[in-house]
Structure 1
Amino acid sequence: MRKIIFTTILILFCVNSFAQNMMQSQYGSSASGLNSDRFDRNGNPIDTTAVNDASTIPVGLSSWTIDERFGNKTTVPVDTLLFGFQNSNDNGGPTGHYTYLGNLGSPRISHVFFERAETTQEFFTDPYDFALITPSKLIYTNTKSPFTNLTYYKHGAGKRSEERFKAYFAVNANKRLGFGFNIDYIYGRGKYMNQSTAQFNGNLFAYYHGDKYDMHFSLINDNIKVTENGGIVDDRYITHPLDMADGGREYKSYEIQTNLQDIWNKNTGYHAFLTHRYNLGFYKDETSENDTIVREVFVPVTSFIHTVKVDMNKRQYISYDDNQNREYFENHYLGTDSTDVTKYMSVKNTVGISLREGFNKWAKAGLTAFLSFEHRRFSMTDSIEGSAGQFMRDYKENTLSVGGQLIKSQGKTLHYDVLGEIAILGEDIGQFNIEGKGDLNFRLFNDTVRLDVNAYVKNVNPAFYYRHFHSKHYWWDNNLSMINRTKIEGKLSIDHWRTQLQAGVENITNYTYLDNVSVGYADQNNEDVKTYNNNVAVKQNPGSIQVFSAKLRQDFQLGILHLDNEVVYQKSSNNNVLPLPELVLYHNLYLRAKLAKKVLSVELGADVRYFTQYYAPDYAPAIGQFYLQNPETKYKLGGYPLVNAYINLHLKRTRFFLMMYNLVQGTGERSYFFAPHYPLNPRGLKLGLSWNFFD
């Protein structure tokens, strides 16, 4: 870990020095201002009290993301937030919305249903969204001087510590061409036995912004290796520790036996993405509001768009199949010495023509028509123990779809984006998607009110690995129906009151999920009945399931005293198939002040994460996915307040925090399990340091 950090810092220092000299020769020493953005990456209003003064962000620095279909830009804030840094590395999310296995970098799934992403063709890496970057999440930066960020997190010390190191670098070759890279290394040694995680992810990016030609490119590599321990053998080591060892002592977390050993899941992925467009238009003279200088500005009228996305992933399940592991799984299709590997590759091309918004007073919205073709190939084991041999079988799928988009993004009052797409040929024929979102901004009692609405109707072909999967312990080939989803959701935001109210409802037909189909068996003397922990099958619920959700965010302030609150209420119409906690809560009480002549910003407080008891999803280590608990042994989890106390400091370009994690570490029935048999990490000290370099 120290070698990686030192090498990265040395490389960044050398590149930064070279780039600074190059930038000075290109730009000189002057700088021009940029428009600021008042909304975060999710489109929510930014609390302006929680961002740096303009003086802390150099003039000429801006950031944005792009959408994967057309390459449209969305401005995002530069990463210089004063507050909330202590929650930026929380595997459970900044407000604790995720079930996870305790360790940093472990798989996770949201308690809040509306935050769960749809299952993708990259099935095995879906639960690792905590660290993985996709082209739509990658941040591009335009900067007059080289920009570098180094961030380091640590939890605990010694052989059981968790560490994360991130490095981000961006530079411009000239006013139109920029590039950079991002490195993210996670090493969670694990507070419990056989629990380590190791992730090394990185990406390169480049862009070019010309009047007639525009381009964004990224190359992403992700490497994930997770040790699977199947959870602890007896929850009483956590819930009732004095019952163990006849009350003689309490076991340390790393002394507690686990169900599995010598088992790993390993994923390696490569993702190349290119979106570019050629614009037809005209030049016109324009005068800025602050001066009388006339500038020639290009106005695009029509754009020809091409986007190509290539994804490759190799997933390998490694198991030294000893007796302990054999008892954990019901089926062993491939025998002891076998290769359990599956590979995925996809190439998707999208071409479109767009009539651009705003090129004259009649063009109030932009209109785009597009066509997409995707080729997918999957390889997996296709033999059963005792057969002639083990071999790899290829599955090939092709899909051709057409669609259109109507969008209005300019102006201050009303914005909307309506998109429709339907598959007309290939594996996904009949799949369609109609979705729309919009926002209305208006004045009310001398304040700005924002009303957001989004809705969709979808008919979705289940992901390939729901339909076919062959492996060491699970084997299925399913003929599944299309999943139909209908949703409408609205959000009301009032900045001055620090209030957000959000509510929505979704109906799902043919809901597709992973179920536990473990069966009981008797031992040789028919005296003891055991139940396998881990046998998985794909199921569809033929009827409809409705989910209602409402969320209130309300923050209060009295001088330097702050109280931030978030309450989520949700209800599932079928808790046997789709169990959800009815309440998910987050509260943060803290003091916020500026010291040392208002140069040092300090935040001192404690926050709590809580969700009501429910049949939380179990975890299947052989495929790294969450699934329903065994109905014969299921039990409820939740009702435990996870409390963290912290101090967060910000001095110019440096952020630092100290946190005492799991402060009220408790025992009893409501103990610190989020997933069955996977306890959270015990009480420990966390720290984080982030340093920005702007020159």
Structure 2
Amino acid sequence: MKYYFSFFLICFATIVSAQTDSIISAKKTDTVLKKIRPRPKNKASVKEGDTLGVTIKDYKIITYARDTTYLDTTLTIRKEFKYNYLRKDDFELMPFANVGQPYTKLGVNFNRATLYPRLGAKAKHFNYAEVEDIKYYNVATPMSDLFFKTTFEQGQLLDAMLTFNTSRRLNFSLGFKGFRSLGKYQINQAESGNFKATTNYLSKNNRYSLIGHIAAQDIVTEENGGLADAELQFASGDPDFSDRGRLDVLFVDAKNKVLGKRYFLEHNYKLLRKSKDSSRVEKTSLALAHTFNYETKYYQYMQNEDNSYFGEAFLDEVNDKAVLKTMYNQIGAQFYNATLGKLEGNISLYNYNYYFNSVLVKEDKIIPSQLKGEEISLGGNYKKQIGGFNVNADIKYTISGNLTGNIFNGSASYSFNPDTSIKFGIHSSSRMPDFNQILYQSEHLNYNWYNTEFEKEKVNNLNFELKSKKWGLLEGNLTTLNKYTYFKINPDVPLGEGEESIAVKPFQEGNSVNHIKVKYQKEIRLGKFALHNTIMYQNVAQTNQVLNVPELVTRNTLYFSSDVFKKAMYIQTGITFKYFSSYNIDAYNPLLGEFYIQNTENLGGYPLLDFFINAKVQQTRIYLKAEHFNSSFGKTNNHYAAPNYPYRDFVIRFGLVWNFFS
């Protein structure tokens, strides 16, 4: 990782040093355009590659799904919600005490983006960028984005990205997100490095297009196992333990790690391309497409000395390592017609190799060291837009392989006007559980299994979205789960007092689980004041308690916005109130890097209050926040993110987001 970081710094310093902060964009809205350079009266003198008449809309951001937006340098309340470690709205998440540690899920979404099982260790993947998370760019001039935020003791968080076009049709970007944070508690240090390099290209005749990226990511965290005596040292509010570094923790020598490297390429060539008359508007095209993705990843848990907390171990020194290597190739044909829509058919080959370094015999049952094979799948996609009506459907079906499954997504949307739209969708998928739920090996005897009896998990989901500028955003999901796979304490292993994590293993629920989620967002404005509200309701119908979520989650932000200093600065300041109803919060297991079901401890039901002052000067957004300032209001502490893992105490953090343009 250090070699990627060094390479990034050299490139970044070389190009950014010549840049100037020349774009003056809107403070309050995303739609106001400001010209960077005036366009000359003699249009004939403008050549391809010139950057005259450039506006903020010429700095385009392209997603994996080919949705295109443009750079937003405004300061809005949504930017406040996204100013965090993940750089996205964390309304449905509850962070642990330190940056880079896991998040407890307050809301769940079971729709799958891929047909194949993941490695597992899901609690360690919140900051791991998957293929669908990578963004591509097309910019008129070199542009960079700097994100900085303080962490918790001895460390900082920096996310830097540089993108530039060598021509109108060829773009490159380099990005590195790195942080280190010691944390307030003992043995709680976290650090990570995420390097990304992207490119996208479109030929001059518009026949050949390409996107691709390289990603190298590692996430390393010390694991203290939680507080050894949370009731006495934390919950009691004893002032002798106000210094969190004095609280006893379970482990002093454990850590886990996720490391992954990925090489991705997607390109297509149009064999046939016809335009309407002499215009450049495409009427009909036929293209060949190819997608390639190769990724290696491993999850590792290390502990210098055996700890009885997880039960008996084979060796004194624990070093568990699960490795997954995958290669995906897809070829297909794409047909487009302005009247009929876009239709694609494809066939894909998926090779996987999930392995450990030994074969184990446990209770006369052989636990193999490897799951290896290949999957052949057929797929199709259809898109069509007629006026304000949009239809989209895609399907994949595995015809050969041991992980056989299928996935279907369909949606239909309609725009009544620019301010009001409605969308209905359906998702249906069937696939095997994650690899670590099927097979796992550990130095700890209780953490070895090979679940050959596990069946495919089935997900069926209906969803809708009603978006209105006047009435707000209403979203609803109805999900039915069959063969839901989860982690819980193994009832076959006798446990002593305080040994709840001695034996956690995966199970499959034989009965159906039904989950309903409804979320509503609306902002009310009165002059320079505004109240932004988000509320979510969830309900689970289940025979056995295998899925735990809060019934109610709400976030309400009252804030004030205004220009100051003769409009040289724009500020927003206010208070955010967040609350979720008490429930059986999932417990965290650091050996697996997973959350598991617990139905004995009811947590939550406490408010979180944050005070913030944000400001914008040209393209710089400055953020200052007093997080959880109500943590010391009571005589006792009940703010937990998971059993034995407290949420953050009161802390003041600051940072900025800065865009540069040449």
TM-score bracket, normalised by the shorter chain, equals 0.7 to 0.9
CA distance in 2, matches of 1:233, 1:200: 30
2:108 is aligned with 1:113: yes
Query: Match of 1:548?
Result: 516
The residue identity in structure 1 corresponding to 2:607 is P
Query: Match of 1:328?
Result: 309
The residue identity in structure 1 corresponding to 2:298 is K
Cα root mean square deviation, aligned? 3.1
2:495 is aligned with 1:511: no
Task: Using the TM superposition, give the Cα deviation of residue 268 of structure 1 relative to its aligned residue in structure 2, in angstroms.
Answer: 1.4
Query: Match of 2:46?
Result: none
Query: Match of 1:187?
Result: 180
2:61 is aligned with 1:64: yes
2:221 is aligned with 1:226: yes
> What is the TM-score when the length of structure 2 is the normalising length?
0.88
Give the counterpart of 2:400 among 425, 429, 453. Answer: 425
CA distance in 1, matches of 2:125, 2:618: 31
The residue identity in structure 2 corresponding to 1:54 is L
Q: Which is further off, 464-473 or 166-175?
A: 464-473
Query: Match of 1:464?
Result: 435
Query: Match of 2:505?
Result: 537
Give the counterpart of 1:264 among 237, 241, 255. Answer: 255
Structure 1, residues 504-552: CA drift from partner, whole Å, max 9, x if none?
2111111111112267868xxxxx8553434211101111010111111
CA distance in 1, matches of 2:242, 2:526: 44
Within a 5 Å distance, the mapping from 1:171-182 to structure 2 comes to 171-182=164-175
Structure 1, residues 463-511: CA drift from partner, whole Å, max 9, x if none?
22211111123111002111121110111111133x1112221111111
CA distance in 2, matches of 1:511, 1:401: 23
Query: Match of 1:344?
Result: 324
CA distance in 2, matches of 1:264, 1:449: 49
2:270 is aligned with 1:279: yes
Within a 5 Å distance, the mapping from 1:299-378 to structure 2 comes to 301-322=285-306, 326-332=307-313, 334-337=314-317, 339-358=319-338, 362-363=339-340, 365-378=341-354
Task: Using the TM superposition, give the Cα deviation of residue 315 of structure 1 relative to its aligned residue in structure 2, in angstroms.
Answer: 2.1
Task: Using the TM superposition, give the Cα deviation of residue 9 of structure 1 relative to its aligned residue in structure 2, in angstroms.
Answer: 6.2
Contact 1:639-1:670 at 8 Å conserved across structures:
no
2:567 is aligned with 1:598: yes
Query: Match of 1:609?
Result: 578
- DSSP 3-state at the match of 2:369: strand
- DSSP 3-state at the match of 1:87: helix
Q: In the superposition, relative to structure 1, how do residues 8 and 433 fare at CA in structure 2: closer, same or farther (>3 Å)?
A: closer
CA distance in 1, matches of 2:18, 2:325: 38
Q: In the superposition, relative to structure 1, how do residues 161 and 576 fare at CA in structure 2: closer, same or farther (>3 Å)?
A: farther
2:81 is aligned with 1:87: yes
The residue identity in structure 2 corresponding to 1:672 is H
Query: Match of 2:593?
Result: 624
Task: Using the TM superposition, give the Cα deviation of residue 55 of structure 1 relative to its aligned residue in structure 2, in angstroms.
Answer: 2.1
CA distance in 1, matches of 2:325, 2:427: 28
CA distance in 2, matches of 1:391, 1:482: 20
CA distance in 2, matches of 1:53, 1:518: 61
Query: Match of 1:154?
Result: 150
Query: Match of 2:15?
Result: 15
- DSSP 3-state at the match of 1:14: helix
The residue identity in structure 2 corresponding to 1:480 is F
CA distance in 1, matches of 2:397, 2:360: 38
Task: Using the TM superposition, give the Cα deviation of residue 17 of structure 1 relative to its aligned residue in structure 2, in angstroms.
Answer: 5.5
Within a 5 Å distance, the mapping from 1:407-486 to structure 2 comes to 407-408=383-384, 410=385, 412-429=387-404, 431-443=405-417, 448-473=419-444, 474-478=447-451, 479-486=453-460
Query: Match of 2:122?
Result: 126
Task: Using the TM superposition, give the Cα deviation of residue 198 of structure 1 relative to its aligned residue in structure 2, in angstroms.
Answer: 0.7
Give the counterpart of 1:216 among 211, 214, 220. Answer: 211
Query: Match of 2:48?
Result: none
Contact 1:308-1:348 at 8 Å conserved across structures:
yes
Give the counterpart of 1:636 among 584, 602, 606. Answer: 602
Contact 2:93-2:104 at 8 Å conserved across structures:
yes
Give the counterpart of 2:548 among 561, 579, 582. Answer: 579
- DSSP 3-state at the match of 1:531: coil
- DSSP 3-state at the match of 2:133: coil
Query: Match of 2:625?
Result: 659
- DSSP 3-state at the match of 2:234: helix
Gaps of at least 5 residues in structure 1 are 21-28, 37-46, 287-293, 523-527
Task: Using the TM superposition, give the Cα deviation of residue 426 of structure 1 relative to its aligned residue in structure 2, in angstroms.
Answer: 0.8
Contact 2:487-2:505 at 8 Å conserved across structures:
yes
Task: Using the TM superposition, give the Cα deviation of residue 196 of structure 1 relative to its aligned residue in structure 2, in angstroms.
Answer: 0.9
Contact 1:483-1:510 at 8 Å conserved across structures:
yes
Task: Using the TM superposition, give the Cα deviation of residue 573 of structure 1 relative to its aligned residue in structure 2, in angstroms.
Answer: 0.9
Q: In the superposition, relative to structure 1, how do residues 18 and 115 fare at CA in structure 2: closer, same or farther (>3 Å)?
A: farther
Q: In the superposition, relative to structure 1, how do residues 123 and 65 fare at CA in structure 2: closer, same or farther (>3 Å)?
A: farther
Q: In the superposition, relative to structure 1, how do residues 646 and 401 fare at CA in structure 2: closer, same or farther (>3 Å)?
A: same
Task: Using the TM superposition, give the Cα deviation of residue 406 of structure 1 relative to its aligned residue in structure 2, in angstroms.
Answer: 1.3
Give the counterpart of 2:30 among 51, 67, 72. Answer: 51
Contact 1:148-1:170 at 8 Å conserved across structures:
yes
CA distance in 2, matches of 1:623, 1:309: 26
CA distance in 2, matches of 1:95, 1:106: 14
Task: Using the TM superposition, give the Cα deviation of residue 595 of structure 1 relative to its aligned residue in structure 2, in angstroms.
Answer: 1.9
Task: Using the TM superposition, give the Cα deviation of residue 8 of structure 1 relative to its aligned residue in structure 2, in angstroms.
Answer: 6.3
The residue identity in structure 1 corresponding to 2:423 is D
The residue identity in structure 1 corresponding to 2:289 is I
Contact 2:611-2:629 at 8 Å conserved across structures:
yes
Contact 1:640-1:672 at 8 Å conserved across structures:
yes
Contact 2:28-2:74 at 8 Å conserved across structures:
no
Structure 1, residues 350-401: CA drift from partner, whole Å, max 9, x if none?
111111142xxx32x21111111100001114345999xx999332121111
2:647 is aligned with 1:680: yes
CA distance in 1, matches of 2:91, 2:508: 29
Q: In the superposition, relative to structure 1, how do residues 296 and 613 fare at CA in structure 2: closer, same or farther (>3 Å)?
A: closer
Contact 1:511-1:541 at 8 Å conserved across structures:
yes
Give the length in aligned residue pairs. Answer: 627
Query: Match of 1:24?
Result: none
The residue identity in structure 2 corresponding to 1:598 is K
CA distance in 2, matches of 1:5, 1:591: 40
Contact 2:241-2:247 at 8 Å conserved across structures:
no
Contact 2:325-2:354 at 8 Å conserved across structures:
yes
> What is the TM-score when the length of structure 1 is the normalising length?
0.84
CA distance in 2, matches of 1:438, 1:105: 37
CA distance in 2, matches of 1:412, 1:649: 40
Task: Using the TM superposition, give the Cα deviation of residue 144 of structure 1 relative to its aligned residue in structure 2, in angstroms.
Answer: 1.5
Q: In the superposition, relative to structure 1, how do residues 587 and 529 fare at CA in structure 2: closer, same or farther (>3 Å)?
A: closer
CA distance in 2, matches of 1:7, 1:344: 27
Task: Using the TM superposition, give the Cα deviation of residue 66 of structure 1 relative to its aligned residue in structure 2, in angstroms.
Answer: 4.0
Task: Using the TM superposition, give the Cα deviation of residue 280 of structure 1 relative to its aligned residue in structure 2, in angstroms.
Answer: 2.8
